[in-house]
Structure formats: C-alpha cells, structure tokens
Amino acid sequence: MASSEQPRAQWLGRWGFLLAATGSAVGLGNVWKFPYMTGEYGGGAFVLVYLICILAVGVPVMMAEIAFGRRGQGSPVDAFRRMATGSGRSPAWSVLGWMSMLAGFMILSFYVVVAGWSFSYLWKTLSGGLSGGSVDELAAVFEANNANPWNLGFWSTLVTLVTMVIVGKGVQEGIEKSVRWMMPGLVLMLVVLIGFGALSGGFGEAFAFLFSFNTGSLSSAGMLAALGHAFFTLSLAAGAILTYGSYLPKTASIGRTTLGVALADTLVALMAGLAIFPVIFANGMDPAGGPGLIFMSLPVAFQAMPLGSLFGALFFIMLSMAALTSSISMVEATVSWLCDNKGFTRRSAAWSTGIVLWLISTAAMLSFNVGADWTLAGKTFFDWLDYLTSRWLMPLGGLGTIFVAGFLLNKNVMRDELGLGPRFYALWLLMARYVSPLGILVIFADVLGLYSVVFAQHWPYLLGVLLLMILVGERLSPRLRQALAPR
C-alpha cells in the first residue's frame, strides 16, 4: 500500500498525456498493420470504414476509458472497482480491469516479436545485410530471420529489455521524456518518406488507392477488420489508455484530448500509407502482400532508390520507435497495479513483469520456428494471442466499459468527468449507449457466424437496428436501472 499515501504521478506538461497517449496509439498497428490491411481489403473502401469506426466506436470508448482512469485514480482493476462501487454497483465490475490488463499483457507478448523484426531489419539495413537482394531473395531473408530461434529470440528479448528499462524509470522520467522526442521524430521521418514518394512516381497511384472510395469493394470481412483494427490502433480496452488517463490532470479536457489522439493516430496511419504505397506502386509490387509487406518488399524498393539505405534505415528506426512507445504503454497497467496494491517499487514491478512477459513472448517467438507445428485448431500460439485479444478481449472489454459508463454510473458522474457541454454530452451518450455497442456486437455476430446470415449484403439494415436499440433502450433504461439497482 506504500504508494497510496503519495499523490499519484502526473504528466509533466500540458502535452504530456497527449504525447504519451498518441505514442501508445501510434505503433506497429499504424505503420505495419494498417497499410497491409488496406492492401488486403481493397484500399479506399477499407479506409473509409476504418475512419467511421474510429469516430463512431473508438472515440466514445476512449473518452470513457480516460474518464475512468482519471476519476478512478488507479490501475484498471482499482479504477473499475472504484467507479462501480462509487455508484452503488458491484465491485465485481473490476473484472473489466482484469480483462484489460490481461489483454495488454497478451498483446505485448506477440507485439515484441513483430517489434523484434523491425529492430533486426534496422540492424540488417545498417550492416548491409539486405543489400543486393531480389524480391525472392528478400523473402528468403525474412524466412531465415524467423527460422533461427536464437536470432529471433535475441531481438524480441532486446525489445522486452528496452521496454522494461523505460517503464522502470517512471511516468515522467521514462515515458514522457522518451515520447517527447520519439513522436516528432516519427512524424518527421514520415514526411521525408512521403516527400521521396512524391518525387518517385508512384504517388498518384498510391493516393488514388487510399482515397478513392469504391463501395463495390466493401466486403463484410473488410468492415469487421476495420472495426477490430480501430480498437487495436487506439490501444483501447488494454489498460494502456485508462492507466495513462489516471495521470491526467483534472484541468485537461477529455473530449479535446481524445480527439487529438484519434486525429494524430489516424493522420500517422494515413501518412504511413502515403509513405509506403508509392514505393510499392513505383516498383510494381502487390499491395495485398500480407503481413510481410514491409519486411519482404520495402527493402527491395529502398535498394532501387538513390540514398536507399539511408531511407531504409530511417524507416526501420521510425518503426522501432513507434513500436516502443506502444509497448511501454501495454505494461503500464500491470506495473501500476503492482505498485499500488502489492507495494512494489516501479523498478521491481517493471522487472518482474518483464520476466513473465519474456517467458510468454519466447513461446510466441517459437511459433515462427521450432514451435510452428504446435497448433490448436490450425492456429499457432502467436496466432492465438492475436486472435483472442483482437476478437474477444478487446471488443468485450470495450463493450463492458461503455455499458458501465453509459448505463450504470450515477447520472452526473460521466457528465462531470467528461466536462462536455450539454449537446456534446448528449452526443457522447448516444454513441456510448447505442452506436459503439452496435459496432462491437457486429464483431461478435461475425465471430459466432451470425453476421453473414443476418447482415451480409444488407448492412444498411444496421441503421434500422440502431433505431430499434435506441427506442427500446431509452424506454427500458429507467427500468433497467431499477432492475440493476442495489437493494
């Protein structure tokens, strides 16, 4: 209980939270995953749905998370318990906090492996290990990099170590100071790469690919992928944003801050698209190249450019930095829980978490070599970590969070904490009660195989369902409250 007597740490400056939360949101999801998903799901149509999901689902959930963190003043477990009991609800709602801590931990266990790819490619670029290869040769390099567990394990261990060193240094010293220079550096390097792309010929095609909204290619699989990715890219329901919110000063506006983070995250994703696709198109590569898109094909493109190894190095530095500012945020919930409840110092909390994480991530890393055959239902351990978090834990956690925020808390709690004017508060409530849950429920319907039966080709019916939900919800909500009220 040692640290409960001390005032909770706060971000240093006005920009502290915005930088750190943006650093958490902007990561491999933006620079590695968003471009390859856009390539896979047909470009502009995917981008459009993704943008709608960020606004309609991501923003309301993020506002609730930050509010819970700031008002609950603790790790996700403590914050959910305090918020629920403060409104006369069961302390069992802290299960949502446990779920989010678990999600953050599980995501990090496979995230450090992908971040390790980025670190190793930076090293390869600097040491000349990538020069002179054709597309096929570079695909073989990617496979060889994965095939050797000692090699891959070295890089993911390095990512884990760096993450824990930064986290161990604390909120202001470690996280805020690192993000302060990492984020502007990232944007600068993207601008340089976009500038290069603009001169290199593939830019027009890339722009059209990203921004021509051809609704014909709007598949239900693409819609679902976009929705799931909105959660992932904004770091929602994984403890990160909530815990960062617990260090947010009372004077900051949650609405404006959230919009700032969501905007920055979206801009970086689009910038990454504009940086990567010109290179792909100018070199006649396939945009639907899948998860290996960056690692297998970009080095080929970099070699075709003047100053290519410099641009290659800049790119992988950028990707590694983006990964680190996200990975540090994923452990913050667990570390803050250990410090608040178990009397750990920050440093010992970081190292203990790091050891457990290292064991799980090593198992995930083995999925690419000696453990490639250890599958369950066709998925490796690495795949399971990704699948369970993005399909189950994050959407379920997000749904729970907005259910508590939208229906269960005393009337003025969210209104006070969000600090919105009456119109914006009403808009948030509408989104939190109906629009966001509907989006999340669509994911579940798909997982259960119901989505295609109910909505395939008829997604405008969702609007009807939304109206029905509002009607029923608003009629029932006083009764719902009474039914759920403590006796």
* Reduced DSSP (H G I as helix, E B as strand, rest coil) percent helix, strand, coil of the chain, to 5: 80, 0, 20
CB of 34: closest distance to ligand PFF in angstroms?
A: 8
The interface mask with ligand PFF, positions 213-232, x = CB under 6 A, is -------------------x
Binding span for ligand PFF by CB under 6 A among 24-32, 57-65, 77-85, 474-482: 24-32
**DSSP 3-state of 17:** helix
What are the structure tokens assigned to 323, written together? Answer: 């990964």
In the list 22, 30, 109, 258, the residue contacting ligand PFF (rule: CB under 6 A) is 30
Rounded to whole angstroms, how far apart are CA atoms 55 and 436?
9
Asked if 329 interacts with ligand PFF (CB under 6 A), we say yes
Asked if 398 interacts with ligand PFF (CB under 6 A), we say no
Place of tokens 């010992």: 348
Residue 244 or residue 434: which is nearer to ligand PFF going by CB? Answer: 244
Residue 312's CB is within 10 A of a number of other CB atoms, namely: 23
Rounded to whole angstroms, how far apart are CA atoms 60 and 439?
12
In the list 178, 258, 326, 336, the residue contacting ligand PFF (rule: CB under 6 A) is 326
Residues 236-275 binding ligand PFF (CB under 6 A) are: 238, 240
Asked if 330 interacts with ligand PFF (CB under 6 A), we say yes
Rounded to whole angstroms, how far apart are CA atoms 193 and 443?
35
Rounded to whole angstroms, how far apart are CA atoms 11 and 74?
14
The interface mask with ligand PFF, positions 107-136, x = CB under 6 A, is x-----------------------------
Binding span for ligand PFF by CB under 6 A among 15-23, 323-331, 371-379, 479-487: 323-331
Query: How does DSSP classify residue 9?
Result: P
List the one residue out of 151, 91, 92 whose CA is nearest residue 121: 151
What are the structure tokens assigned to 434, written together? Answer: 């109906």
Residue 202 or residue 397: which is nearer to ligand PFF going by CB? Answer: 397
What length is written for the chain?
A: 487
Residue 32 or residue 155: which is nearer to ligand PFF going by CB? Answer: 32
Residue 29 or residue 289: which is nearer to ligand PFF going by CB? Answer: 29
Asked if 401 interacts with ligand PFF (CB under 6 A), we say no
Burial class (CB in 10 A: 0-12, 13-18, 19+), 117: buried
Rounded to whole angstroms, how far apart are CA atoms 273 and 286?
14
Asked if 159 interacts with ligand PFF (CB under 6 A), we say no
CB of 326: closest distance to ligand PFF in angstroms?
A: 4
Cβ neighbours for 23, distance < 8 A, ≥ 6 positions apart: 175, 178, 179, 182, 183, 325, 326, 328, 329
Chain residue whose CB lies nearest ligand PFF: 29
Residue 388's CB is within 10 A of a number of other CB atoms, namely: 16
Backbone phi and psi for residue 376, each to the nearest 5 degrees, phi listed first: -130, 125
Distance of CA 226 to the CA centre of its chain: 12
CB of 480: closest distance to ligand PFF in angstroms?
A: 30
Asked if 233 interacts with ligand PFF (CB under 6 A), we say yes
Query: How does DSSP classify residue 170?
Result: -
In the list 25, 79, 83, 285, the residue contacting ligand PFF (rule: CB under 6 A) is 25
Residue 141 or residue 224: which is nearer to ligand PFF going by CB? Answer: 224
Binding span for ligand PFF by CB under 6 A among 5-13, 141-149, 294-302, 325-333: 325-333
CB of 30: closest distance to ligand PFF in angstroms?
A: 5
Binding span for ligand PFF by CB under 6 A among 19-27, 35-43, 81-89, 270-278: 19-27
Strand partners, 376: 379
In the list 28, 130, 338, 435, the residue contacting ligand PFF (rule: CB under 6 A) is 28
Asked if 235 interacts with ligand PFF (CB under 6 A), we say yes
CB of 18: closest distance to ligand PFF in angstroms?
A: 15
Asked if 27 interacts with ligand PFF (CB under 6 A), we say yes
DSSP tally for the chain: helices H, then strands E: 24, 0
In the list 20, 22, 23, 24, the residue contacting ligand PFF (rule: CB under 6 A) is 24
CA 390, 396, 399, 404 torsion-angle sign:
negative
CA 409, 412, 417, 423 torsion-angle sign:
positive
The site for ligand PFF, by CB under 6 A, has a size of: 16
Q: Which residues bind ligand PFF (CB under 6 A)?
A: 24-25, 27-30, 104, 107, 232-233, 235, 238, 240, 326, 329-330
